[in-house]
Amino acid sequence: MPQIICLGILVADIIGRPIERVPARGALELVESITTHIGGCAANTGIGLQKLGVETAVIGAVGRDGFGQFVRHTLESHGVDTRGVSETGAAPTSATMVLVQPDGERSFLHCVGANAAFGDDFEESILQGAQILHIAGHGLMPAFDGAPCARVLQEAQKRGIKTSLDTAGAPDDTWRHNLRCCLPFLDYFVPSLHEVRELVLGPQTPEHITKQLLGLGVGTVALKMGRDGSYAKNQRGEEARVAALKVNTVDATGAGDAFAAGFLAAALRDLPLETCLQMGNATGARCVQAVGTVEGLGEWNSTFAMTL
């Protein structure tokens, strides 16, 4: 049985690097590499957890196409349980063109594809025995975001399963409304700071934002802050801030999902909040040192050693 279930977006990434400029209309530019990789928050976090020694299942949707076969095969090759991955002939597998700049920063062109049709009609028996349900990519699943997601989170909590959520997409009024529906049913919320800055009123400091989110019912808020590390606080008043590890960044694609994997793997072990942040930072640091979302990730002991 899976210990953690990652429910969310599944994507095939086409990564080009290094890209210093986008070609002019009708022009051609040469790049060093263009490669295919697994992508999508649920896949990235799920594989990261599996590499960290956590039995993990993924729930999501792919199309009946080559990219869909690639996504499923990649998940299974890492030992991830794919019983919850459905196929649809109504839409292609979601895909992203990732343009990686020389410093590792990325720009994206994204096709929502099958993720748009994913809803809350999956087989709930897959939740049986899980300890954490992680919603990975809320904001890019229009048929699931908001009230349907909140219902699943509430059902999970009734079953004694802890809940977690990470965001995706571009913040707008719909994004904010849908997210607010889910906040009261979250044990863990692990967004990027820049994504939630417009979610609350007042000062845009991590401390103020976290206080407001806790006031809306979240159990623990852990903010990913990029080069500034991470910050977290929970309802018990436990608070922690951890600096980012200094590493050579090759490709930052998937770093946020890697953080979520490290944080949740530590939370599953009931480790202190500071240690959870340290593991999140370390897993993210491993991610950015290789091209792709999961190629740089490793097992628990070597990742934990980076926190010492």
β-pairing, 106-111 with 95-100?
A: antiparallel
Question: Helix or strand or coil: residue 195?
Answer: helix
User: How do the residues of the chain divide into helix, strand and coil, expressed in percent and rounded to 5?
Assistant: 35, 25, 40
Q: Looking at the predicted structure, is the pLDDT value of residue 56 above 90?
A: yes
The pLDDT of residue 142 is 93
Q: Looking at the predicted structure, is the pLDDT value of residue 151 above 90?
A: yes
The HSE-up count of residue 189 (CA atoms within 13 Å, CB side) is 31
Q: Establish if 297 belongs to a structural domain.
A: yes
Q: Looking at the predicted structure, is the pLDDT value of residue 287 above 90?
A: yes
**What CATH number is given to the structural domain containing 194?**
3.40.1190.20
CB 306 within 8 Å of CB 265: no
The pLDDT of residue 200 is 84
Q: Establish if 204 belongs to a structural domain.
A: yes
The pLDDT of residue 169 is 85
Domain count, the chain: 1
pLDDT tens, position by position, 72-118: 999 999 999 999 999 999 999 999 998 989 988 888 898 999 999 89
Q: Establish if 194 belongs to a structural domain.
A: yes
Q: Establish if 26 belongs to a structural domain.
A: no
The pLDDT of residue 120 is 81
CB 136 within 8 Å of CB 42: yes
Q: Measure the CA–CA gap between 211 and 196, rounded to whole angstroms.
A: 12
Q: Measure the CA–CA gap between 278 and 105, rounded to whole angstroms.
A: 22
Q: Measure the CA–CA gap between 66 and 102, rounded to whole angstroms.
A: 30
Q: Measure the CA–CA gap between 101 and 18, rounded to whole angstroms.
A: 5
Q: Measure the CA–CA gap between 49 and 298, rounded to whole angstroms.
A: 10
Range of the domain at 199: 4-21+31-305
pLDDT tens, position by position, 157-195: 999 999 999 999 888 999 999 999 999 999 999 999 999
